[in-house]
Amino acid sequence: MKKLIRAGLSTIGKFSPRLAGRLAFALWRRPMGRGAVRELERAVHESARVEAVDGVVTYTWGDGRRPVLLVHGWRSRASRFAGFITRLLELGYSPVAFDAPGHGDSPGPITSILGFQRIIRGLEERHGPFEGVIAHSLGVPFALYAVREGVAARRLVMISGVAEFGYLADTFCRELGLGPKVNRFLRRSIERGYFDSDDQIWTRFSVAAGKSDLLVIHNDEDDVVDPEQARILLRAYGPHAHYLPTSGLGHRRIMTDPEVITEAVAFLQDSRADSDVPEGLDLSA
């Protein structure tokens, strides 16, 4: 199906970039396929307390003390954090997660970054303030924006994350083989469809300087989110940022790697974390 869509949109884009941009926006609103619960996640998934809040399926574990928010990425779901949830519970934390609209078990088309902000704010009101936030991929800019807009979280762990809001459109077009003209029309459709034609969203929703302690984890073989996005994120947070590079895990296996899980949760625990950005990573550029 993806190959057919890619071929069709690419052909349309040659004759009418505007139409291809509109069709791409229709696909943007409804991800192609929902992530299913994997067998290795099932026990953790089924042990959660499940609620539907304003159409969004939420999950909680633990006794409610020391809550940690988990924010998944594109075409993903809350159960992808199963390894993190197990470790957090062992250490007395209470994980809180949700399936974003149009993902997992939550119905509807996807929501904008402002919709994510409202969801995360609602979870904070019910379960927070959060000890920390762990986010993956597309969940990273959404989580960081919510924190920037006032959601309380002491420490942040951002894994394989996007830093520039425009990178989302660029990656989407690249995945479907769409050129720069279609990209421009897709961006205009996003501006009109979600943000009242505000063309400043690409700057407004990109990562900005923050005051929370931040751990950035990325992989050198990530074929979904360019590792350069980690550099941008680190540079924005400056002295508050710490970096854990990984190798050979790609974009998805990083979420099940025992060392990544251990280091991420340890960072939440350690209020005096002093890990340095590794030598050779220039944050001044």
CATH T-level fold of 43-164+210-272: Rossmann fold (3.40.50)
Question: Could you tell me if 134 and 85 are in contact, meaning their C-beta atoms sit under 8 angstroms apart?
Answer: no
pTM here is 0.88
From first to last of its 285 residues, the chain has per-residue pLDDT tens of: 566 665 566 666 666 777 777 777 777 777 666 788 999 999 999 999 999 988 899 999 999 999 999 999 888 999 999 999 999 999 999 999 999 998 989 987 788 899 999 999 999 999 979 999 999 999 999 999 999 999 999 899 999 999 999 998 888 888 777 788 888 888 988 988 888 888 888 988 998 877 788 999 999 989 889 999 999 999 998 888 999 999 999 899 999 999 999 999 999 987 544 444 444 344 443
Closest CA to 215 of 255, 275, 279, 162: 275
In the chain, ranges of CATH 3.40.50.1820 domains: 43-164+210-272
Question: Could you tell me if 72 and 97 are in contact, meaning their C-beta atoms sit under 8 angstroms apart?
Answer: yes
On the 0-12 / 13-18 / 19+ scale of CB atoms within 10 A, 19 is middle
The SS3 call for residue 58 is: strand
| Other Cβ atoms closer than 10 A to 50 | 13
Place of tokens 């807009």: 149
